[in-house]
Amino acid sequence: MAKKRNTGVGAMMRGQCPRCREGKIFVSARAYRWDKITAMPDACPVCGEDFLREPGFYFGAAYVSYALTVALWVSVFVALTCLNWWGLMAFSFFEDVGLFLTTGIVLLIFLLPMIARLSRSMWLHMMTRRHRK
């Protein structure tokens, strides 16, 4: 049986080290453990890649988080518009702003830990060169 290929995108989504794609980036596997949402080890437990880099390194993850949040709001708009087109519910952006905002804010609060982790993982993957064996 062929060994399953661990792609960079897959490692990024799973929160694995960008260099070896095996070590975990986050201390806790559970994203919804509130005290350890973005807790990270100092270095990769497998290859020793430095996760701390420099003070303020993860400030750049805020830009990624912003892009993910914009994508979430666009997705909410598209989903509500499609539900309107399919006749499953009535939605007009200018008449149902409250529905749009409520849906987006509830989703954003629910997905906040996932977005925070994914943006850090994406930022780390963008700034790290892959280790060639």
Name the site residues for Zn ion (rule: CB under 5 A). Answer: 17, 19-20, 23, 44, 46-47, 49
- Supply the Cα-derived Rg of the chain in whole angstroms: 18
Quickly list DSSP for 60-79: GHHHHHHHHHHHHHHHHHHH
Shortest distance, CB of residue 13 to Zn ion, whole angstroms? 16
Smaller CB separation from Zn ion, 103 or 128: 128
Smaller CB separation from Zn ion, 20 or 31: 20
Task: Count the helices and strands in the chain (H runs, E runs).
Answer: 3, 0
Quickly list DSSP for 27-61: S-S-TT-GGGSS---SB-TTT--BS--STTGGGGH
Shortest distance, CB of residue 63 to Zn ion, whole angstroms? 24
Smaller CB separation from Zn ion, 76 or 124: 124
Token couple for 102: 């409520």
Shortest distance, CB of residue 104 to Zn ion, whole angstroms? 36
Smaller CB separation from Zn ion, 80 or 124: 124
Shortest distance, CB of residue 46 to Zn ion, whole angstroms? 4
